[in-house]
Amino acid sequence: MGERRIGVAVDFSIGSRAALKWAIDNVVRKGDHLILVTIRPDGDYEQTEVQLWEATGSPLIPLAEISDPNIMKKYATKPDQETLDMVNLAATQKEVVVVMKVYWGDPREKLCEAVDNIPLDYLVIGNRGLGKLKRAIMGSVSNYVVNQSSCPVTVVKHGSA
């Protein structure tokens, strides 16, 4: 079978935790790499690490460093405890390698970029549940990624985990 690279888009919201839980329960299996893909908005970041990797995304960050708030501060990212608990449990019980990659910019473009650059075999993304009007104005990240991604994508609606 070989190892697979399963990506999950995480922004540490309820929707992304639902997508992560769904991926762990339904897709991830022993030997896989579970890659948390986090997209931070464009901004004026002072940390040199952010400026260094703004164009290409961070290096792959191992699980031990994801759990360290001081290290994650360098990437302008703060994982919540529930997400950390889920990935630590998955790493132990399912014997998977968990890493994170942080990008800065438009989530639609950066998620598709992650699929190609990491590269991912499969991507799971949460759905914010925007109404028709907001979706028409703001655009749907999940809809864009489903239509543009070069790998299979599953969209997990909030509450379906």
Between residues 119 and 144, which one has the greater pLDDT?
Answer: 119
Q: pLDDT band for position 137 (50/70/90)?
A: very low
Residue with the two structure tokens 């979706």:
135
Domain with residue 100: its CATH number is: 3.40.50.620
What pTM was computed for the model? Answer: 0.88
Could you give the number of structural domains in the chain? 1
**What pLDDT does residue 160 have?**
46
Residue 28 domain boundaries:
5-157
Is residue 9 predicted with pLDDT exceeding 90? yes
Whether residue 17 contacts residue 125, with contact meaning beta carbons closer than 8 Å, is answered with no
Torsion from C-alpha of 151, 82, 75, 67, nearest 10 degrees: -110
* Closest to 75 in 3D by CA, of 95, 55, 102: 102
Predicted local confidence at residue 33, as pLDDT? 97
Task: Quote the pLDDT of residue 135.
Answer: 46
Span 103-132, average pLDDT: 87
**Residues contacting residue 69 through CB under 8 Å, at least 6 positions apart:** 78
Q: With bands split at pLDDT 50, 70 and 90, how would you rate the model's confidence at 161?
A: very low
What are the start-end ranges of the E strands in 14-133? 33-40, 61-62, 97-104, 122-127
